Amino acid sequence: MHKKTSGPHEIPDVMNDDATRARPACDGGASIAETVNECRGNADLPTSATVAHEAVPSESPAVPATPKKVDRGLATTLSTKVLKDRIWLRTLLMANRFRVIRTIDVAVCCFAERNYKAALTAAQRAMRGIVRVGLLNRYRSDRFQTLYGLTKKGADWLEEAGHEASSSVRRVSDMTNPEHRLWAQFWTLACEARGLTAMSEQELLKSLNKDVKLGQPLIQGLLHVTTTRGQMTRNILLRPDAVAYEVDGLTWLEVDRSKRGSERESNLAALENSVGRLLKDGSTLRRVVIFCKTERIFKRALAVVNGLATESNDKVLTVGRRHFREIETGTYAVWTAVDMPVGDGRTQLEDTLVGYVIVQLLPIWLPKVRIDASNTHSMAGWFDENYLPYRRPPGAPNWSMPSSPLLTAIKPK
C-alpha cells in the first residue's frame, strides 16, 4: 500500500467550506480555487489532476522477471532422437526378454532414477509412441490389467538393430491373469536398477541347465529341503520366483499373491530354515524376501516365521538349528551356530548371523497411480525410499540411488 504525501505547500481541502471562509476573497466574482490562489500570493495552484499526480509517489521502473530455467535433463547430454531410440530399444528388448510387460516395467527399466510421477509419465509417453507405430500390441487381461506383447514388426525392428527377437503377441493374447509372473519380473528389474544381477525363474532354470548334455537330467530347482506334515516326511526341490546375486550371497524371492495352503506353508518354513545354506549353483542363501499381495497374506507369512521363532528361539543354538530374531515388523535376523577354527586344528561353535527373512507388501498401488488430478493412490515405495527391491534391515548398507541406463548405449549382439 502506498502512503499518501503532501506537496511543499500544505493545501486545505478546496471543497471544505470552513477552509474557504477562513480566508478573505480578493475578488468577489472569483472561483474558490482562484480565491485560494490569490490569497497565497498568486502562487500557482495545481489542478486537481496535478494534485493527485503529485500526491502519489512515482513507482520505480519495473524489473524484468528472470525467466525460469527449464531443466532439460538428459537432453543436455544426448539428442532427443538418440534418447528416443535408446528408450525404444530397451523397452522392446525387455518385451522380448519377458514376453509380456506393463508400463510400470518401462518406468523401472528406463527411468528408475526419476521420481515416480516423472518416471510413469515418461514411460506412458514411450509406450504410446511404440504402440502407435505397431512395434507393441496392447491387451487387457481378465483382471483388467493392460499388457503389451512384441509384434512381428517389433521383432523385425530389433533384428535390424542387431538383436535376436521373436514375436510374443500370440502368447500374450492367450494369457488370462499373468499377475504372478509380472510381479516377479518387476522385482527382477528393480534389482537390476539397483545394480544387482538378477534373474527370473525361467532365466534361472535356463542358466542352471546351460551345460547339461543331451540325455542328462535337467536341474529343476536350487534347494533340497525336508518337510514334515503330520506323520509324513517329504524331500522336495524348491525353486524361487526370482533371484538376485549380491556380494555376500543370493537373495531369494517368493511372490505370494494368494494365501498359502498347509503344504505351501510348510515349504516356506523349510525355505526360511535354510538361510545360510549352500545352493545348487554354489552360492549361499542369505535372504528370503516374501512379497505379499494383501494384509491377510502378509499376516500369514509373518505367522510362519513367528512359528519357527517360537519353536527354536528358546533352545541352545547348534549346527542346523536357527533362531529368528525380529528386528522390526517384517524383518527377522537369522542366527545359527557355525564351526569356527580356534587354532591347533580345533574348532568351536559360535553364534553367527547368517542372513535375513524379509516380509513386505507388494506395491500393488503403484500401477494404479494416475498422473492427473483424479489420482487417489499413493506413490510411496519407489526407489527414493528403502523399499525396492526389498527393505534393507537396520545396520545394513543403504541402497544407492539408481543412475540412468540411457546414458549407456546397448551394443548389438
Q: Can you say whether the dihedral through the CA atoms of 320, 325, 331, 333 is positive or negative?
A: negative
Phi-psi region of 344 (alpha: psi -120 to 50; beta: other; left: phi over 0): left
pLDDT at 47 over 90: no
pLDDT at 329 over 90: yes
Parts of the chain belonging to CATH 1.10.10.10: 77-177
Find the range with the poorest average confidence among 158-162, 229-233, 329-333. 229-233
pTM, 2 dp:
0.81
The residue among 228, 273, 251 whose CA lies nearest residue 396 is 251
pLDDT at 26 over 50: no
How many residues in the chain?
Answer: 413
In which residue are the cell numbers 542366527 written? 335
pLDDT tens-digit profile of 253-266?
999 999 999 999 99
The reported pLDDT for the residue numbered 304 is 97
Q: Report the interhelical angle of 116-132 vs 103-111 (nearest 10°).
A: 110
Mean pLDDT on 158-173: 95
Secondary structure of 69-124 in HEC code, one letter for each residue:
CCCCHHHHCCCHHHHHHHHHHHHHHHHHHHCCECHHHHHHHHHCCCCHHHHHHHHH
The residue among 244, 247, 264 whose CA lies nearest residue 256 is 264
CATH class, range 77-177 = mainly alpha
The reported pLDDT for the residue numbered 136 is 98
Cis, bond preceding 389 (omega within 30 deg of 0) = yes
The reported pLDDT for the residue numbered 21 is 42
Q: pLDDT confidence of 63, banded at 50, 70, 90?
A: low
pLDDT tens-digit profile of 177-236?
899 999 999 999 999 999 999 999 999 999 999 988 888 999 999 999 998 877 788 899
Q: Which residues contact 8 (CB under 8 A, 6 or more apart)?
A: none
The reported pLDDT for the residue numbered 286 is 97
pLDDT tens-digit profile of 293-314?
999 999 999 999 999 999 999 9
The residue among 321, 280, 326 whose CA lies nearest residue 302 is 326
C-beta separation of 114 from 194 below 8 A: no
